[in-house]
Each structure stands twice: as C-alpha cells, then as structure tokens.
Amino acid sequence: MTQNPFSRPVPRRAVLSGLGLGALATLTGCVSSPRAQIADLSAFGGLPGNIPPEYATAYGPISDGGYEIPPIDLKRMNVQFLRRQVAYTGPEAPGTIIIDTPTRYAYLIQPGGTAMRYGVGIGREGFAWEGRARVQFKREWPRWTPPNEMIDRQPELEMYRGVGMDPGLKNPLGARALYLFQNGQDTLYRLHGTPEWWTIGKAVSSGCVRFMNHDIIDLYNRADQGATVIVNQPGGATV
C-alpha cells in the first residue's frame, strides 16, 4: 500500500542542517536557543509528473460551507509548496505555527519531531510584519474588512469601509482565517486562504500570510485557538 505523504514520518537521515532553509527567527529581546532544523526535502523529484496520486485527492474540489472550492491545477503548481510532513528538531512546542518568510513556508509543529509544512504567499516589501503573536480567534468563510490605511491607498475599496466584503470564493481571506493578536491588541495580520493559489511562494499580499484554500482548511482543523505564531523575516535573530 502506498504511504500517505501527508502523514508519513520523514526518515531521520533527511534531517541535516536545515539545508535550503533560512534561519528561523525569534523576536528581538528573546533568549536565543539552539538553531531549529527543518528538513527541506526534494519531494517528488521536483516534477509535476512525480506527484503521488494522494495529492490529486487532497487538492481536488471541495464542497465546504455551501461553497464549491475548485481544484488546484497541480500541473501549474510549484510542487515544493504542496503540503507535506517534514522532520523538525527545534525548541518550539507542538501546536506552534512558524511562518518562515524567506523560504515561503509555514510550519505547524507536531509531536514526535515532525511538522506539517505549507507553502505560503507573504507580504510585499514594506508591508511585512514579524514577531510573536497568538491566534486570538478563528473564522470559517470570514468577512473581509480592509483597514482604513489600505482603503486610503486603494480608493476602489471604499465600498468596503466599515462594512466589509461578504464571504465567498472571491473574498481575499478565502475559506478560513486565523487572526493574530499581540499583547491583547489586533495586529491586523491574518493567516488566511486565497482563491489565487498561483500566488503561493510569492510576495504579493499586503502583509498577511496567504495559504491555498485547501491548506488553510487543513491548518484551521489542526491549529488551536490561542496557538503561538512566530513570523520571521529575513535578517532576524536565529534560534
């Protein structure tokens, strides 16, 4: 029987020295600790034709909350950003979410020295945020209300000021959103889905961290409200 690529343990020999990954960062002022190592595996030989059949199901059409999420075109997707379980050796507790923006990956730390890895899109230069926050709450098919600062930059969004955009397949927050707070204050940054799956792996959003809708649903189901989220930008302190 073919092993499920979403749950199989990664061989220990795959854990080398974080090859291909930037150093994970902590906030300035935090006590540094041994550098985390997350295996960056060359899954499927880097070729769409080598993608295991389980992925066609995992990224196929989804009926959810009255909406029909279309499938991901795996032939056009950069396979390195597909969801997979990898080995993790580092100081963060299971349940912690790490966003490593230099590599365009998000990790949900799991028990047993593993992490679930997701490809993400990140904020454009000048709109990026970093730090340690918590998931204050989670929402299915969230309403999107752009902040006033964004509306001022993009007047075409004026219609959504104070009222927001209805949930749906075209909503920029996608199928799920996790809302990040720091010291009890809303950071205005979210971990959220996107209908624009082809932007994963790129710096395109206004600071928030976007996942394919299929992946944000998976993360939403695994992550707890109150989970710690560490967002790391290039040049941060190593852990």
State pLDDT tens for residues 133-187: 999 999 999 988 877 887 888 888 887 788 787 888 989 899 999 999 999 999 8
Number of Cβ atoms within 10 Å of the Cβ of 176: 26
Which two three-digit tokens encode residue 233? Answer: 């930008």
Facing residues of 108 across strands?
Answer: 97, 116
Q: Is the dihedral of CA 112, 114, 115, 116 positive or negative?
A: negative
Q: Please state whether the predicted TM-score (pTM) of the whole model is above 0.95.
A: no
- Beta strand 203-205 with 25-26: parallel, antiparallel or unpaired? unpaired
State pLDDT tens for residues 73-119: 998 888 899 999 999 999 999 999 999 999 999 999 999 999 999 99
Q: How many angstroms separate the first and last alpha carbons of the chain?
A: 39
Three-class secondary structure of residue 148 per DSSP: helix
CB crowding 90-118: b at 16 or more within 10 Å, else e: bebeebbbbbbbbbbbbbbbbeeebbbbb
Ordered structural domains, the chain, with CATH: 12-238 (2.40.440.10)
CB 161 within 8 A of CB 183: no
Place of tokens 């950071």: 187
